[in-house]
Structure 1
Amino acid sequence: MANETAEIESPSTNCTLDHAIHQTLFPVVYIIVLSIGLPANCLALYYGYLQVKAKNELGVYLCNLTVADLLYIFSLPFWLQYVLQHDNWTYNELMCRICGVLLYENIYISIGFLCCVSIDRYLALVHPFRFHQLRTMKAALVVSSIIWGKEILTSYFFFTHGEFSKDPDSHIVCFEHYPMKDWEHSINYYRFFAGFLLPICLLLFSYCHIFKVVRKSQGTQTKKKVQIKHLVLSTVLIFVICFGPYHVLVVIRSLFEKDCVFASRIFNIYHFSLLLTSLNSVADPVLYCFANEHTYKDFMRFKGSCVSFFSCRKATNLSYELKRVEATSEENGRSRNVSSKREASELCEHKVSANESSGNGTE
């Protein structure tokens, strides 16, 4: 408790920062991730279970990836309340540490399993017979245990430090320190090199060789090539968009953030990059559509149904518009005919009255 109080009252955390981005952009993104990510990941977990049941080692990696996303999604209501209360944490420090670990470690668990998916596809397509023992259910379970164990040990490092601080408005700030503390520099360099740079190098190496093999293969069907291409592009996009900006800014902060002046300058762009990592929980289920042939066929069938549905609606709307135009034209035509007949009748009446007047004058 004394450590917690000392941490809260530490003068090094009294940077005056504009947290407006937390009250405007963050709630919108968090609500979108909750509303889309939760059902999408539940469905993805079901498809992953089917693959595990079919003894497909790829399903093990995808299930673990989904579990990591769901754990993060379950922490979002707490973060949503936090940002809506102007960055004031109303729960205890243990809950702050748990939510903080789920927020940050989900990034590296997701990166680890995305990397496993790419290496598994590399071994399956480039070396289908040479490393068959690495593509078994047992090997997948061992690798998954190593990834979770590594991240749990990293999380323990955070649990040994107090995560509460106090801003000039007397708000209890959770899992944020401005300027950055000394112990954060080493963990940030480790995150960048071991948690991001190495995996993305392995991913790019795997997919470059996959592209070469698929391009040269004469027996691979066109649909299969398209499926592999979509899997590669979706994985690379998740890495580049969701994780790239955050890790670049983590290194920049570690190198240059020495005082509150730099912290205030980089605050908005850093937190925007952190917000991009949340989209990972929405993007990951897309991999299920391309990682397995049966799931890919279901996805293409669903896509075709959606296209047909909207095409039919468009055609129906167009037909309705044409009928309405024709009806309007017919109505206008009838109106013109009635008007013409009325004018002709009035003209005849005028001529008759003129003749009668002329006859009366002659008499």
Structure 2
Amino acid sequence: MKSTADFQFYLFPITYCLVMVLGLPGNLGALYVYVFKMKEKSSSSAYIISLAVADTVFLCVLPFRVHYHLNGNDWIFGEVACRVMGTIFFSNVYISICFMTCVCVDRYLATVKPHTYLRLRGTCCWAVATAGVWVVCGTTGLAFMLTLPVDTGVGLGSPRRCLESFATGEWENSLAAYSGFSLVFGALVPCAIILVCYPLAARRIARIRTATARAALRTIYAILAITVLCFLPYHLVYLLHLLRRTRVIRDCHAADAIYDARRVTMALVSLNSLLDPVLYYFATGRCKWSLRWLKPKGKRGIYTISDRF
């Protein structure tokens, strides 16, 4: 028997409202600084801009999710809106982790393989990587949106679910394959790269006693923290969820526990859009934001950007 997990009707609205209120200014501020204030763009800048764009779009669909959960998981906006909003919601997880992986590889090369990094710096590799992430994630998301079965409630008085409560046959036909592909290439591979590359880079950087090295270490710690807190729990529980829906796990008590844990980790993974602005501050390794207040009349305050590397 499925757990009702009534706590979700409080957990999701509170978490999503917190993420919206605190995350949207941070992401919009990062876009303003990186797009309009930075004169010279770097590879990391392109990844950060893409990550901020994905987070901003994600934050704009959260009001619909808040209403959905406050309304007892009853979707009132129709099938098309469910497909679009749901695809944006879940695609953000994989877009975010892919661009964080790009930042990870970029910082790893800059610190551990500096000669290789300098050779690649003048090429269009970063543009190809950025475009590649958008094309792959966009194509996968579009296929997901167009082919996904949507339960918008046709029963009398039954809640109209949005991307939830799929039938066993739907899992066997397409959802299991799609979920397995997403777990391997959208979670396992990127997380492995982050968890391997960054500790190696941290060991190298820790030997350098400079402000630049300390800034690079802060970048490492920020990405590792977001990965461990937001992405790993979500994907580990999603793996268990996949095993349950494909009837590998059959125990009813385990099924209830997995359902409850999935609600918690779905709230946790949304926190990445709140925590990403911390990463934006450190990750490029080239910008230092400072607020300098000037005393002369008519001068309120200005952002100054100076080279760190």
TM surpasses 0.5: yes
**DSSP-derived class of the 2:161 partner:** strand
1:212 aligns with 2:203: yes
Partner of 1:56: 42
Decide whether the 8 Å contact of 2:112 with 2:204 is kept in 1.
yes
Q: Which amino acid aligns with 1:96?
A: C
- Taking a change above 3 Å as real, the CA distance of residues 274 and 129 of structure 1, as seen in their structure-2 partners, is same
1:162 aligns with 2:149: yes
Partner of 1:191: 182
1:25 aligns with 2:11: yes
1:149 aligns with 2:135: yes
Pairwise mapping of residues 259-338 of structure 1 onto structure 2 (< 5 A)? 261=252, 263-292=255-284, 295-296=287-288, 298=290
Aligned mates of 1:148, 1:52 — CA distance in 2: 23
Judge which range, 281-290 or 179-188, deviates more: 179-188
Q: 1:291: Cα distance to partner?
A: 2.1
Partner of 1:245: 233
Partner of 1:226: 214
Decide whether the 8 Å contact of 1:89 with 1:171 is kept in 2.
yes
C-alpha RMSD over aligned residues: 2.5
Q: Which runs of 4+ in 1 moved over 6 A?
A: none
Decide whether the 8 Å contact of 1:68 with 1:106 is kept in 2.
yes
Q: 1:139: Cα distance to partner?
A: 2.2
Q: Structure 1: which 5+ residue stretches go unaligned? A: 1-14, 303-363
- Taking a change above 3 Å as real, the CA distance of residues 130 and 242 of structure 1, as seen in their structure-2 partners, is same
Q: Which amino acid aligns with 2:231?
A: F
Q: 1:127: Cα distance to partner?
A: 1.9
Aligned mates of 1:62, 1:242 — CA distance in 2: 18
Q: 1:263: Cα distance to partner?
A: 4.3
Aligned mates of 1:169, 1:274 — CA distance in 2: 27
Rg comparison, structure with higher value:
1
Partner of 2:21: 35
Aligned mates of 1:210, 1:242 — CA distance in 2: 22
- Percent identical among aligned pairs is 29
Q: Structure 2: which 5+ residue stretches go unaligned? A: 294-309
Q: 1:198: Cα distance to partner?
A: 0.9
Decide whether the 8 Å contact of 2:240 with 2:258 is kept in 1.
no
1:30-54 superposed Cα distances (whole Å, 9 cap, x missing partner): 1101100110100111222257631
**DSSP-derived class of the 2:228 partner:** helix
TM-score by length of 2: 0.83
1:128 aligns with 2:114: yes
Q: 1:115: Cα distance to partner?
A: 0.4
Partner of 1:254: 242
1:314-337 superposed Cα distances (whole Å, 9 cap, x missing partner): xxxxxxxxxxxxxxxxxxxxxxxx
Aligned mates of 2:7, 2:118 — CA distance in 1: 49
1:87 aligns with 2:79: no
Aligned mates of 1:188, 1:161 — CA distance in 2: 12
- Taking a change above 3 Å as real, the CA distance of residues 169 and 253 of structure 1, as seen in their structure-2 partners, is farther
**DSSP-derived class of the 1:130 partner:** helix
Q: Which amino acid aligns with 2:57?
A: L
Aligned mates of 2:181, 2:161 — CA distance in 1: 24
- Taking a change above 3 Å as real, the CA distance of residues 17 and 260 of structure 1, as seen in their structure-2 partners, is farther
Q: 1:148: Cα distance to partner?
A: 0.9
TM-score by length of 1: 0.72
Decide whether the 8 Å contact of 1:126 with 1:213 is kept in 2.
yes
What number of residue pairs does the alignment pair up? Answer: 284
Judge which range, 160-169 or 72-81, deviates more: 160-169
Partner of 2:64: 78
Aligned mates of 1:55, 1:295 — CA distance in 2: 10
Q: 1:209: Cα distance to partner?
A: 2.8
Aligned mates of 1:137, 1:298 — CA distance in 2: 30
1:205-248 superposed Cα distances (whole Å, 9 cap, x missing partner): 3223322322344xx51x22221111111101111110111111
